[in-house]
């Protein structure tokens, strides 16, 4: 085919296509359905625009003359009679009454072009009487605070609550009120406007339209952002533990705290608390876990937290709920709910009753028998021991020693004088055996205090220059009764024996030297000189060690008789932990009424002088 012929054919096809497009645009069709609408009914004017894109068409509102209303228009794609892509406009109207309706200036824009569809005249005819349109309304406050719970009610045309199905509005929560048709609890999460929707309610023959309603949602005033809830009143409840409960030492205590008020489950913050240990320090309670829900009273909700904390030791613990802040929407003020602190008691873990070992009993029998043979005043003590009546023996021993049977008297007995150490040993031994279960003492708690006094007395005897035989064994037995298996021991032997050894070595060195001098000879040879030097050095070392041993035994220490620790030396100070009888440590500072002590297990506290035996 020649090039000229191809060009002419292409031109013919293009001309035909352009002509068809132009012809299609001029074939706009307008139809009315129904052509004679009934009064009170709707009708549509449909316009088909061949070759126009639906997304580019914007219908314009026409002018109306006569008993009709324009309710809007829709545009959607379609096809004309020959299959060409078209835009379809549907203008919607309602004929309010019978008569002639004039639609003037029916038009639309398409891509910036104004399309005119002319004016149309329609006759609306009378039909069945149009139903009377009835309206209801929403009952709700004009304004509320964000997160404040309020009530909305659907009212019928008669002003009474009307049944209403559930509905949703973005950013808001609704739930029906049980037993109250048409009534809902509502809450809006953020400031703004709540628009209650238009709804069609009622059944056939009793339908009505619920008109929309707007509620202004206000934000919290400046400076109130730390509140835990909005609206009230709220109350704080410490569910657990209960006041006065007693727990075992080193246990775990479960706690539960909740705030109750007219809120929405999950919106109010959970309350919190603190726990004070007996020494006034804070106990870690952890984060626990939060929970929320609704109480049996349908108008109340709760927001709570559960957790647990570990006890540090015996004494009184205080569980203190922190104030729960809530915003009072009625008065526009911040208020707080409080709960009374609860005190719980942690009892000292009861140790198994201690029974004096057979070796301790045997040693006590021997010492009391030996003492009664020398001192007639101790014969009643020996007779009571022979009968196996150790408590009676203890009382007779107190009489023989001339001390009264009261707290602290045994530990303070004097150790000076002829036979004083032997009497103190027998007195402490009788007391130690008397307070064991074998002697009939059933209350281990009451037995700890006199046993602690006997323990302290043995520790005093152990510090003597020449401790009595068996005193360390008795002190160890008393210590084991309190669980002090690793009680501090002395590094060096008693200083009295070291002094004797040192003096003996010095004296021997002197005798060797004097012996040689009397023979008018200077010690000569390796053996004599070495003997003198060795004895002299050994004596010096022994005497130096004696001094060190004496210093070691003068460090002030104590045994507790059982008392409450204080942070400062005052009866008005807060009570700390209970320092059980038999616990030991160092005395750092003391006065007539108080002692500042450091326990062997760690920690420094003030104890009343009445609860401390120094040795």
C-alpha to C-alpha distance for 297 and 316, rounded to whole angstroms: 36
Q: How many other CB atoms are found less than 10 A from the CB of residue 403?
A: 15
Residues 6+ apart with CB under 8 A from 31: 45, 46
Distance CA 285, CA 282 (A): 9
Locate the DSSP E strands across 131-182: 135-139, 143-145, 150-155, 172-176
Q: Do residues 568 and 591 lie in contact, with contact meaning Cβ atoms separated by under 8 Å?
A: no
Element (H, E) at 547: helix 526-552
Q: Does domain 135-218 have CATH number 3.40.30?
A: no
Overall CATH class of domain 557-614? mainly beta
- Residue range 554-598, pLDDT digits in tens: 889 998 988 888 888 888 887 888 888 888 999 999 888 899 999
Contact assessment for residue 148 and residue 230, using Cβ atoms and an 8 Å cutoff = yes
- From the list 441, 543, 450, the residue with the least C-alpha distance to 497 is 543
Distances in whole angstroms, Cα of residue 365 to Cα of each of 393, 415, 473: 11, 21, 15
C-alpha dihedral (369, 373, 379, 382), degrees to nearest 10: 10
Confidence at residue 520, expressed as pLDDT on a 0 to 100 scale:
54
The CATH classification of domain 3-124, taken from the options 3.10.450.50, 1.20.272.10, 2.30.38.10, 2.60.40.10: 2.60.40.10
Query: What fold is seen in the domain 234-347?
Result: Immunoglobulin-like (2.60.40)
Half-sphere exposure of 432 (CA within 13 A, CB side): 34
Cα distance between residue 358 and residue 477, in whole Å:
11
How would you write 396-460 as a 3-class SS string? HHHHHHCCCCCCCCCCCCCCCCCCHHHHHHHHHHHHHHHCCHHHCCCCHHHHHHHHHHHHHHHHH
* Residue 121: both structure tokens together: 């005249």
CA 202, CA 465: separation in Å to the nearest integer? 108
Rama region for 562: left / alpha / beta (φ>0; ψ in -120 to 50; rest): left
Instruction: Mark the ranges of the chain whose per-residue pLDDT is less than 70.
Output: 1-26, 80-83, 128-131, 203-205, 297-298, 348-353, 415, 417, 436-446, 485, 517-527
pLDDT value of residue 1: 38
Question: Residue 47 and residue 88: Cα distance in Å, rounded?
Answer: 6
In this predicted structure, what is the pLDDT of residue 4? 42
Instruction: Please count the CA atoms within 13 angstroms of the CA of 93 that sit on its side-chain side.
Output: 32
Does the global pTM surpass 0.75?
Answer: no
> Both tokens of residue 460?
């005093």
* Cα angle 412-478-248, degrees, rounded to a multiple of 5: 105
The span from the CA of 172 to the CA of 184, in Å, is: 12
Those residues whose C-beta lies under 8 Å from the C-beta of residue 70, and which sit 6 or more positions away, are: 61, 62, 64, 91, 92, 93
Question: What Å distances lie between residue 238 and 212, 255, 320, 321, CA to CA?
Answer: 44, 8, 9, 7
CA distances from residue 213 to 135, 149, 197, 219, 587 in whole angstroms, order as listed: 13, 17, 7, 20, 79
Q: Report pLDDT for 361.
A: 86
DSSP string over 458-475 = HHHHHTSSSPPTTHHHHH
What per-residue confidence (pLDDT) applies to 500?
87
Taking only the tens place, the pLDDT of each residue in 18-72 is: 333 333 444 788 999 999 999 888 999 999 999 898 999 999 999 999 999 999 9
**Cβ–Cβ under 8 Å, residues 186 and 138:** no
Confidence at residue 25, expressed as pLDDT on a 0 to 100 scale: 43
pLDDT of residue 518: 63
d(CA 123, CA 32): 11
């Amino acid at each position: 085919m020649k090039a000229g012929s191809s060009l002419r054919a292409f031109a013919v096809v293009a001309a035909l296509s352009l002509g068809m497009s132009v012809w299609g645009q001029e074939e706009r069709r307008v139809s009315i359905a129904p052509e004679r609408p009934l009064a009170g009914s709707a009708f549509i004017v449909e316009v088909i625009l061949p070759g126009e894109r639906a997304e580019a068409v914007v219908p314009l509102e026409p002018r109306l003359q006569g008993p009709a209303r324009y309710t809007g228009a829709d545009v959607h794609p379609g096809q004309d009679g020959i299959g060409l892509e078209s835009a379809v406009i549907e203008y919607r109207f309602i004929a309010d009454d019978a008569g002639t309706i004039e639609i003037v200036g029916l038009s639309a824009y398409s891509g910036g072009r104004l399309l005119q569809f002319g004016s149309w005249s329609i006759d609306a005819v009378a039909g069945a009487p149009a139903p009377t349109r009835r309206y209801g309304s929403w009952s709700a406050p004009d304004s509320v605070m964000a997160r404040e719970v309020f009530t909305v009610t659907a009212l019928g045309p008669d002003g009474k609550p009307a049944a209403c199905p559930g509905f949703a509005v973005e950013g808001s929560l609704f739930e029906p009120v049980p037993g109250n048709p048409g009534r809902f609890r509502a809450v809006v999460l953020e400031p703004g406007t709540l628009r209650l929707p238009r709804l069609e309610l009622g059944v056939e023959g009793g339908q009505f339209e619920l008109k929309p309603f707007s509620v202004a949602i206000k934000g919290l005033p400046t400076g109130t952002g730390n509140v835990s809830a909005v609206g009230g009143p709220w109350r704080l409840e410490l569910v657990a533990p209960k006041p006065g409960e007693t727990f075992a030492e080193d246990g775990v205590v479960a706690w539960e705290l909740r705030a109750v008020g007219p809120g929405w489950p999950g919106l109010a913050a959970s309350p919190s608390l603190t726990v004070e240990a007996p020494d006034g320090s804070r106990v870690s309670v952890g984060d626990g876990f939060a929970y929320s829900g609704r109480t049996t009273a349908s108008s109340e909700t709760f927001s709570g937290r559960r957790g647990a904390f570990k006890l540090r030791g015996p004494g009184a613990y205080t569980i203190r709920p922190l104030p729960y802040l809530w915003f009072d929407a009625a008065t526009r003020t911040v208020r707080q709910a409080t709960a009374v602190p609860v005190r719980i008691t942690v009892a000292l873990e009861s140790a198994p009753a201690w029974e004096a070992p057979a070796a301790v009993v045997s040693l006590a029998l021997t010492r009391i028998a030996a003492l009664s043979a020398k001192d007639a005043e101790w014969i009643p003590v020996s007779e009571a021991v022979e009968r196996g009546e150790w408590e009676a023996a203890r009382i007779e021993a107190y009489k023989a020693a001339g001390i009264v049977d009261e707290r602290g008297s045994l530990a303070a007995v004097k150790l000076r004088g002829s036979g004083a150490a032997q009497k103190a040993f027998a007195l402490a031994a009788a007391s130690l055996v008397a307070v064991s279960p074998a002697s009939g003492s059933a209350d281990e708690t009451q037995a700890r205090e006199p046993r602690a006094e006997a323990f302290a007395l043995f520790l005093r005897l152990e510090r003597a220059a020449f401790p009595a035989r068996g005193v360390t064994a008795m002190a160890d037995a008393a210590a084991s009764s309190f669980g002090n298996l690793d009680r501090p021991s002395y590094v060096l032997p008693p200083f009295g024996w070291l002094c004797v050894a040192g003096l003996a070595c010095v004296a021997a060195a002197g005798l060797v030297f004097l012996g040689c001098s009397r023979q008018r000879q200077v010690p000569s040879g390796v053996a004599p000189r070495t003997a003198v030097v060795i004895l002299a050095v050994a004596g010096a070392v022994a005497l130096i060690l004696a001094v060190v041993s004496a210093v070691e035994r003068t460090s002030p220490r104590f045994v507790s008789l059982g008392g409450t620790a204080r942070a400062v030396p005052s009866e008005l100070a807060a009570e700390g932990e209970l320092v059980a009888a038999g616990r030991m440590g160092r005395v750092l500072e003391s006065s007539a009424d108080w002692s500042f002590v450091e326990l062997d297990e760690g920690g420094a506290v003030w104890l009343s002088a009445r609860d401390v035996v120094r040795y």
